[in-house]
């Protein structure tokens, strides 16, 4: 028989450990000013308008709202993300506006080499699916004659934001609730809102960092944002229909990660979408402490096994392999990114 006092003592030690980990996590994020947090994970390749994992998260929500109704549009949006990421990589090289014009001419001629620059097949294939003029023409024509140093205009970055907003504007709201732990400064929500998806949902976001929540409320005073902890979610069992979360679990100790997974599964009634940024196909987690938090490389198999204790099915999407298989794209910026779609 387990000695009650010993067992309670062990629980208290565990709870105290998570309390200390929580305090360190809060400290690690609160050291940044609000302006820095506002722009974190929403720029360059992390911009949710073109980041493949953020696109998949929006598609996760759209599929729960509308089933297969928008499958063709979702595929085109993924292609847009690939095109934009390729262009951003190209603009970081010594390239001038004339070379971009050469790329356009090569695409129009249905060739694959623009003055020594190999054009990936997924760019050519995407171009062939679009009517002329199209966003690829616009992207390759926007730069001044002498330089490509100006940022890509917002209206081009927001191409699919405008499309989705127009497509969804007449759709009535649906009675489904969605939770986002570790929401940051509305990192993904700001685009879920601008794409016209948020008004269709009953959304709740929480974050450990009070500065992030202040930023979120300032941007979206009508939305529901609060300070909260993924290790102890302030909600009843099955309180939310769906849940999505990005870039959380690698920053926790392995023990805390298991608790956070249990909590998210506890409060979610149906499906969950999780974006991981640092995983590998190995039997072991690689634990790496960084100052007051972690930057772990998680084992795909072990993480999947933890989830399977709580749910009926886990779909594992290795972003790099998914894009290579579906579009022939082999040049993603993060080879360690995975998205899990979990069904309870």
pLDDT score, position 276: 98
Alpha helices in the chain (DSSP H): 4-30, 34-39, 52-66, 71-91, 97-108, 121-129, 135-141, 154-157, 159-168, 189-194, 210-219, 254-267, 300-308, 319-327
Strand order in the sheet with 338-343: 224-227, 202-207, 177-181, 242-246, 272-276, 338-343, 313-318
Q: What is the pLDDT of residue 133?
A: 83
Domains in the chain, CATH or no CATH each = 21-69+159-343 (3.40.50.150), 78-152 (no CATH)
The residues of the chain scoring below 70 in pLDDT are 1-14, 143-150
- Cα–Cα distance measured from residue 50 to residue 286, given in angstroms and rounded to the nearest whole number: 29
| DSSP 3-state of 69 | coil
Asked if 51 and 81 count as a contact pair (C-beta separation under 8 A), the reply is yes
Distant-in-sequence, close-in-space partners of 247: CB < 8 Å, separation ≥ 6: 41, 182, 275, 276, 277
Structure tokens at 54: 């953020």
How far is the C-alpha of 301 from the C-alpha of 280, rounded, in Å? Answer: 9
Tracing tokens 């400064």 back to the chain, one arrives at: 185
Running DSSP on this structure, what letter comes out for residue 339?
E
120 neighbors 329 (Cβ within 8 angstroms): yes
pLDDT of 143 reads 65
Instruction: Identify which of 110, 93, 215 has the alpha carbon closest to the alpha carbon of residue 149.
Output: 93
Q: Write the pLDDT tens digit of every residue in 319-341.
A: 999 999 999 998 899 999 999 99
For position 4, what pLDDT does the model report?
Answer: 34
Give the Cα separation of 186 and 216 in Å (integer).
5
3-class SS letters over 153-196 = CHHHHCHHHHHHHHHHCCCCCCCCEEEEECCCCCCCHHHHHHCC
pTM higher than 0.75: yes
């Amino acid at each position: 028989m387990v000695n009650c006092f010993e067992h309670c003592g062990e629980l208290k030690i565990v709870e105290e450990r998570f309390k200390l980990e929580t305090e360190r996590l809060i400290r690690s994020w609160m050291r940044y000013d609000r302006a820095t947090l506002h722009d974190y994970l929403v720029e360059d390749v992390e911009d949710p308008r073109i980041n493949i994992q953020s696109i998949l998260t929006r598609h996760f929500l759209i599929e729960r709202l509308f089933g297969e109704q928008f499958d063709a549009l979702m595929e085109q949006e993924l292609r847009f993300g690939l095109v934009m990421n390729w262009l951003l990589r190209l603009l970081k090289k010594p390239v001038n506006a004339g070379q971009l014009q050469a790329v356009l001419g090569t695409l129009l001629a249905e060739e694959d080499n623009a003055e020594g620059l190999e054009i990936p097949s997924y760019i050519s294939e995407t171009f062939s699916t679009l009517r002329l003029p199209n966003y690829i023409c616009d992207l390759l024509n926007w730069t001044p004659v002498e330089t490509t140093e100006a940022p890509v205009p917002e209206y081009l970055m927001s191409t699919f934001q405008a499309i989705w907003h127009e497509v969804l504007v007449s759709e009535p709201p649906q009675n489904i609730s969605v939770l986002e732990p570790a929401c940051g400064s509305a990192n993904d929500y700001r685009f879920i809102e601008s794409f016209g998806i948020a008004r269709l949902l009953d959304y709740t976001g929480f974050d450990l960092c009070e500065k992030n929540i202040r930023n979120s409320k300032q941007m979206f005073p009508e939305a529901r944002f609060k300070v909260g902890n993924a290790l102890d979610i302030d909600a009843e069992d099955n309180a939310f229909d769906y849940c999505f979360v990005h870039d959380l679990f690698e920053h926790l100790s392995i023990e805390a990660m298991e608790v956070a997974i249990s909590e998210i599964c506890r409060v979610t009634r149906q499906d969950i979408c999780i974006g991981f940024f640092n995983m590998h196909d190995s039997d072991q987690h690689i634990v790496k402490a960084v100052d007051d938090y972690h930057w772990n490389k998680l084992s795909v198999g072990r993480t999947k096994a933890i989830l399977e204790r709580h749910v009926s099915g886990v779909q594992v999407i290795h972003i790099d392999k998914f894009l290579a298989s579906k579009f022939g794209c082999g040049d993603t910026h993060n080879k360690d990114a995975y998205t899990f779609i979990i069904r309870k």
